[in-house]
Amino acid sequence: MSIIYHTIPDLDVEVKEGAQLARISGQFLTCLYAIWYVCHEQGKSPVLTGASRDQVYDHEPLHQMGYAWDWRSEHLSDPARAAQELQTLLSSIDRRWRCVYIRTPGNAHYHIEYDVRKPGPE
Ligand SMILES: [Zn+2]
C-alpha cells in the first residue's frame, strides 16, 4: 500500500493521507514548533501521521478533543534521543505537555499530547 502525503503550505509539515486536524490551535503550533525544531536539527521535516478526527482515535479522548498528535519518528537518526529532547522542550513550556515514544514495530511514532484536564502552571 502506498502512502500519499500532502504539505501544509508555509508550515513545512507533511501530513499523512487520512490524518485530519480538527483545527490549527495554539497548542498545535506549539507542538509543531517542538517537532519542527527537533527534525530540522537533522535536516528533516516533521510528518504528521495522526491527529484528531481520524477514525482510529475513537478511544483516545485527547486525540478526539484535538489536543494530541502523532508524528513520524523513524526518519530521525536517534528517535529515542529526539523523544527526550521533545519532552524536555515541551515540558519547559508547560507541564501539561507529554511526548511518548511508541516503539511498536511498523507503527513507531511520537505521540505528543497537551492534557487540558490537568491543572496548569501555578
Ligand atoms: Zn497518539
CB-facing half-sphere around the CA of 89: CA atoms within 13 A: 18
Ligand 1 centroid distance, CA of 51 (Å) = 7
pLDDT band at 2 (very low <50, low <70, confident <90, very high): very low
- The residue-averaged pLDDT of 65-92 equals 95
Instruction: Report pLDDT digits (tens) over 34-47.
Output: 999 999 999 999 99
Give backbone dihedrals phi and psi of 47, rounded to 5 degrees, phi first: -125, 115
Residues flanking ion ligand 1, Cβ below 5 Å: 70, 111
Tell me the pLDDT band of 1, cut-offs 50, 70 and 90. Answer: very low
- Radius of gyration (C-alpha) of the chain in whole angstroms: 14
Please give the C-alpha separations between residue 97 and each of 1, 4, 36, 55, 120, in angstroms, as whole numbers: 33, 29, 16, 23, 10
User: Which strand ranges, in their side-by-side order, compose the sheet holding 68-72?
Assistant: 5-8, 13-16, 47-50, 68-72, 109-114, 97-102
Reported as half-sphere exposure (CB side, CA atoms, 13 A), residue 119 has a value of 2
CA of 15 to the centre of ligand 1 (A): 14
| pLDDT at position 51 over 90 | no
CA of 121 to the centre of ligand 1 (A): 24
